[in-house]
Structure 1
Amino acid sequence: MHDPLVRPLLDELSHEYWTRYQRVLSAEELRAEMEHYPAQDFAAPHGELVLVLEDGEPVAGGAFRRRTEQELGDPARLARQSARRSDGSPAVRTAELKRIWTHSAHRRRGLARLVLAELERRAVERGYRRVYLTTGPRQPEAAGLYLATGYTPLFDTGTDPEEIGPLAFEKWLEVAS
């Protein structure tokens, strides 16, 4: 994500990750995580960046990119869904939501819900029918947001999140007829 308006949000997100995960992630691992996805993954036609601006300054944002069932690592699900189409094309298009963030000075105002809703709306416009995302085990606010907005956890919610690692969620998107 090369948009200069994204930089302040990503810088603060990096600081937040470091604060929460410095005992389990080295600075190098954190940097690698923040640079893991190429910017073009989040560009049209398969991805998009959403920013909320106030007085021209970014206060919240997020992005999505195309995600295949192979990347999601579920061969059984891939086999079930591929069987639905005779032309060999994937039966379900999945968008992966990434870097959903609200600047610390602007939290508790519903901006993350706004960003999620807009990302979902734009994903539907691009033909996606499902969204997938992960959050870290030390981000209970994010997990709570995803549960409150209709996301299904793809993990046992009774297990200590620290034992699970990244917490995966999915949501099937409603498509207007």
Structure 2
Amino acid sequence: MEIKEVAYDHPDAVELSDQVQAEYRTRFGYDDTTPLRPSYFDPPRGLYLVAYENGAPVASGGWRAQDAEDEGYAYGDAEVKRMYVTPGARGQGLARRILAVLETSAREAGRIRMGLETGEALPEALALYTSSGYTPTTGFGVYRDNADSLFLAKPL
């Protein structure tokens, strides 16, 4: 297993993003409409990772800097986006490995808190985040008033 830093618009990242959107449609009935641009994940204000198994992309995740207090963020926040593991690669700890790299990168970039939005329809994600020290926080971003959304954060 190899984890590589890639651009958010890299073909493998796009392929996995399309797969996670399909998963959201299945579980929630709609896509994640959060506006995302490749530049949001450019270091030092972000990072995007893809994990490969035998050359095939099987997992992804990224973080982006967030300082927009008017959208519910706190100055110094980092936000986890597009965490995903393909069905055939689940259960191997890939998401946990990617999350650890993202947290280290955000901390090294001077971010002080990592936040994320997920939902009860993603129990695997909730289990990962809570077992990694994330606790409930107030809503932020596009989905801050969405009843399907749960917001978690962790000091870095």
TM over 0.5: yes
Which runs of structure 2 are paired with 1:11-26 in the superposition (5 Å)? 11-22=18-29, 25=30
- Structure 1 unaligned segments of length 5 or more: list them: 79-89, 156-162
Structure 1 partner of 2:106: 123
Rounded Cα–Cα distance in structure 2 between residues aligned with 1:60 and 1:17: 15
Which residue identity does 2:43 align to in structure 1? A
User: What TM-score does the superposition give when structure 2 sets the normalisation length?
Assistant: 0.82
Alpha-carbon shift at residue 52 of structure 1 (Å): 1.2
Structure 1 partner of 2:9: 2
Q: What is the number of equivalent residue pairs in this alignment?
A: 142
Which runs of structure 2 are paired with 1:110-149 in the superposition (5 Å)? 110-149=93-132
Alpha-carbon shift at residue 136 of structure 1 (Å): 2.3
Structure 2 partner of 1:99: 82
Alpha-carbon shift at residue 8 of structure 1 (Å): 2.3
- Structure 2 unaligned segments of length 5 or more: list them: 1-7, 139-145
Rounded Cα–Cα distance in structure 1 between residues aligned with 2:79 and 2:71: 10
* Structure whose residues are more often helix by fraction: 1
Task: Indicate how the Cα distance of structure 1 residues 71 and 166 shifts in structure 2: closer, same or farther if over 3 A, else same.
Answer: farther
Task: Answer whether contact 1:60 1:100 (CA < 8 A) is retained.
Answer: yes
Task: Indicate how the Cα distance of structure 1 residues 71 and 141 shifts in structure 2: closer, same or farther if over 3 A, else same.
Answer: farther
User: What TM-score does the superposition give when structure 1 sets the normalisation length?
Assistant: 0.73
Q: Which runs of 4+ in 1 moved over 6 A?
A: none
SS at match of 2:11: coil
What's the % identity of the aligned pairs? 35
